[in-house]
C-alpha cells in the first residue's frame, strides 16, 4: 500500500512555492511534534496534515485560501475539522494553542513574521525549505530575523524532508522547524521595538564592534566581559548574548 496522499488535486500555484505535502509518513511525523491542545493549520491544501491532526484529541481549525480545496476539505472532514476560507497572511490566531503549516516556499518569511508577531499560540511546527529551516534554527550562525525574535521564542530544527515528499516536486528538500514560546522572556515584551532596533543596527555590518560603535561606546568592554573577541560577528551571538547586550544598552 502506498503511503502517499492521492494525487487527485495536488499541485498548485508554483510561483508561490506551493509544493503540497503528499507523504503520509512525513505528515504523521509532523503531527507527533505538536503538543496536545487545539491546533490551527495554515494552508491545509489537500489535507495531508489535516488528516493526521483530525485523528488527535482536541479541536482542529484548517485555513485554506483556494475555494475549491476549501470545499473538498469540508466534504472530507465534515464536523471533525473547522475549515476556514481565508488567507494565512491575514488570519488572526486568537484562541489558538498550536500552529502547524507546510508554508508555501515563496512566502515563508512574510508568514513567519506574521506568526511571530501574534501572541495567541504556544508552539508552531512548520515545514519550510531545508536551508531556510536551518537558518531560522541558527544552525551555523543566526540571522537578523531569528535574532530579532529570540528573546521570546526558541527555534529548533526537527529534521529533513526529501523533495520526493512533495507535489510538484521542488528542487530542494524541506526542513521541519519547531518554534516554541519561551516560558520566561529574555527581554520584556514591552521592549520589543527598542530591542529589535538594536538588532537591526548590529546587523548593518559584518562585525559587531564597528556596527555598535555609535550605539554602545562600551561595546569592547561588553565583548570582553562575555569572553568574545572584537572580531565577533552578529551571527555568532546566542539568544542570551543578545539579551545581555540589550540590557547593557538600555541601562546606559
Q: List the CATH number of the domain containing 240.
A: 1.10.8.100
- Predicted local confidence at residue 12, as pLDDT: 39
Residues 146, 220: one domain? no
97 is written with which cell numbers?
494553542
- What is the number of alpha carbons within 13 Å of residue 88 lying toward its C-beta? 26
23-27, long-range: CB within 8 Å, 24+ apart, which pairs? 23/48, 23/161, 23/164, 23/165, 23/166, 24/48, 24/51, 24/52, 26/161, 26/165, 27/51, 27/52
Q: Is residue 123 part of a domain?
A: yes
Per residue in 97-136, pLDDT (tens digit) is 899 999 998 899 999 999 999 988 999 999 999 999 999 9
Assigned domain for 127 exists: yes
The per-residue pLDDT of the chain, averaged, comes to 90
Same domain flag for 213 and 93: no
For the chain, how big is the Rg over CA atoms in Å?
20
Q: Are residues 124 and 222 in the same domain?
A: no
Q: For the segment 37-75, what is each residue's pLDDT rounded down to a tens digit?
A: 999 999 999 999 999 999 999 999 999 999 999 999 999
Query: Which of 134, 162, 181 lies at the terminal end of a domain, its last residue?
Result: 181
Final residue belonging to a domain, choices 165, 181, 197: 181
**Structural domain count, the chain:** 2
**Do 161 and 237 lie in a common domain?**
no
Amino acid at each position: 500500500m502506498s503511503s502517499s496522499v492521492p494525487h487527485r488535486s495536488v499541485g498548485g500555484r508554483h510561483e508561490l512555492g506551493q509544493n503540497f505535502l503528499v507523504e503520509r509518513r512525513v505528515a504523521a511525523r509532523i503531527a507527533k511534534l505538536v503538543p496536545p491542545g487545539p491546533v490551527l493549520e495554515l494552508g491545509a491544501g489537500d489535507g495531508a496534515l489535516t488528516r493526521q491532526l483530525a485523528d488527535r484529541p482536541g479541536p482542529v481549525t484548517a485555513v485554506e485560501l483556494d475555494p475549491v480545496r476549501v470545499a473538498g476539505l469540508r466534504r472530507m472532514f465534515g464536523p471533525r475539522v473547522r475549515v476556514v476560507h481565508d488567507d494565512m497572511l491575514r488570519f488572526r490566531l486568537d484562541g489558538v494553542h498550536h500552529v502547524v503549516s507546510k508554508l508555501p516556499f515563496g512566502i515563508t518569511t512574510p508568514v513567519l513574521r506574521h506568526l511571530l508577531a501574534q501572541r495567541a499560540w504556544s508552539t508552531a511546527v512548520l515545514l519550510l525549505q531545508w536551508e531556510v529551516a536551518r537558518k531560522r534554527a541558527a544552525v551555523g550562525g543566526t540571522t537578523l530575523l531569528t535574532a530579532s525574535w529570540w528573546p521570546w521564542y526558541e527555534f529548533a530544527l526537527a529534521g529533513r524532508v526529501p523533495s520526493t515528499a512533495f507535489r510538484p516536486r521542488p528542487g530542494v528538500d524541506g526542513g521541519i522547524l519547531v518554534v516554541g514560546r519561551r516560558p520566561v522572556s529574555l527581554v520584556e515584551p514591552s521592549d520589543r521595538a527598542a530591542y529589535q532596533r538594536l538588532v537591526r543596527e548590529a546587523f548593518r555590518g559584518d562585525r559587531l564592534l564597528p556596527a555598535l560603535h555609535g550605539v554602545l561606546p562600551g561595546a569592547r568592554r561588553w565583548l570582553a566581559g562575555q569572553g568574545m573577541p572584537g572580531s565577533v560577528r552578529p551571527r555568532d551571538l546566542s539568544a542570551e548574548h543578545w539579551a545581555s547586550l540589550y540590557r547593557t544598552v538600555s541601562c546606559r
